[in-house]
Amino acid sequence: MKITMDDVAKKAGVSKTTVSRIINGNYSHVNEITKEKVMRIVAELNYRPNAVAKSLKSMKTNVIGIVLSNLQNPFWSHVLQGVEDTCRSKGYNLMICNSNDKSSLEQEHIEGLRLKQVDGIIVNPTMKNKNMFQSLVESDFPIIAINRKIEGVPIDTIVVDNVKGAHLAVEHLISKGAESVAVMVYPVEGISPRIERLTGYRMALKKHGIGVEENLIRVVQEEKGRAKEEVKNLLSGKNRPDAIFSTNNMMTLEILEGIKELGLSVPEDIRLVGYDETVWSQHLNPPLTTVSQPSYQMGEIAAWKLIDQLQAKQNKETEIISLKPSLIIRKSCH
């Protein structure tokens, strides 16, 4: 027989309203003894509230959706940890979707999450569904963008200062004696972090009086193996650079493979800085110098901002929060 709230109330000798308050964490009109007694009986009877009935009554599911571009990238595991820890602390569950950076899949996931009546969504946008995001904002649906800015759409956004991060990386290479610094980046296509990292690269070179050579800016398709082939082409020419700035951690691994296949070594033949700190960065040979993003904090703040939207009684101005990166110096540039 299914245990009901009435059963709990009857055994505890309290009203159904009191049981409801305690289960929902509203202890303002309940003394500690009653609270402990009710919670003990809930456990004894193995009572489970009817989440569906509760959500129909409150018009809330206490579920937040998140749509990310590439769950294979270890960067997102830290972001997700920050999101989930914050959601759990505020009584929300998390539903995770992976768009693989495909706009059609992103749209499908967001429509699906809305059909499942999630309370709000955090998204790392593909940048190709601007009209959809504008429509969500206009309908007052709670949504937060993370890691990428959607230009022209008034949406709360949590990002990292990628210009500063790239500037730190390239300036460090120059300080170690690099005179010819190449950069490798995935196709830009309006994706703000990639645009900003190229901007930071150019700014650092200009600051130190080094001209920007367009042939040292290598745009790499995201298919597996393309970065390895591109770095081999880059380093096989007559005027090969003496340093590389890799703008993505997944790309960095392929760059290292390509360097090894050419019989070259880091940092003796080529200095290298990667973007994004990972668990394997310090275990490479040599350990990799990286730009570290506050990924956990990014997820934490995104969740807080979304929950704040859900609980706010009045609209607030749109905000873009830019977090600061740092440089972790190891031995790949000496």
pLDDT tens per residue, range 181-209: 999 999 998 999 999 999 999 999 999 99
Strand ranges in 167-239 using DSSP code E only, listed in sequence order: 181-185, 217-219
Q: Give start and end residues of each alpha helix (H) in 116-209.
A: 130-138, 162-175, 192-207
DSSP 288: P
CATH class of this structure's domain 162-293 = alpha beta
In 3-state terms, what secondary structure has residue 289?
Answer: strand
What superfamily does domain 59-159+295-324 belong to in CATH? Response regulator (3.40.50.2300)
Q: Quote the pLDDT of residue 39.
A: 84
Q: Which tokens belong to 126?
A: 């593909």
What is the predicted pLDDT for the residue at 56?
Answer: 46
- Domain 5-49 fold is 434 Repressor (Amino-terminal Domain) (1.10.260)
Within 10 angstroms of residue 313's Cβ, the number of other Cβ atoms is 4
Task: Give the three-state DSSP class for 293.
Answer: coil
pLDDT at 54: 53
Q: How many residues make up the chain in this entry?
A: 334
Q: Where do you find CATH 3.40.50.2300 in the chain?
A: 59-159+295-324, 162-293
Asked if residues 184 and 231 have their Cβ atoms less than 8 Å apart, the reply is yes
pLDDT at position 316 is 73
Q: What is the Cα–Cα distance from 24 to 30, expressed in whole angstroms?
A: 12
Residue 315 pLDDT: 63
Backbone angles phi, psi at 26, to 5 degrees: -100, 95
Any idea which residue has 């000496």 for tokens? 334
Query: Which stretches of 51-108 are assigned E, i.e. beta strand?
Result: 63-68, 93-98
Cis peptide before 267 (omega within 30 of 0): yes
**Two structure tokens written together for 66:** 């998140």
Q: What angle do CA 23, 57, 61 make, to 5 degrees?
A: 70
| Separate counts of helices (H) and strands (E) for the chain | 12, 12
Report phi then psi at 160, rounded to 5: -115, 150
Task: Return the closest-CA partner of residue 327 out of 147, 175, 148, 145.
Answer: 175
Amino acid at 31: N
The span from the CA of 128 to the CA of 103, in Å, is 6
> Which residues of the chain are modeled with pLDDT < 50?
52, 56
> Shortest CA distance to 334 belongs to which of 118, 139, 177, 110?
177
- Residue intervals of the chain classified under CATH 1.10.260.40 are 5-49
- The span from the CA of 265 to the CA of 269, in Å, is 5
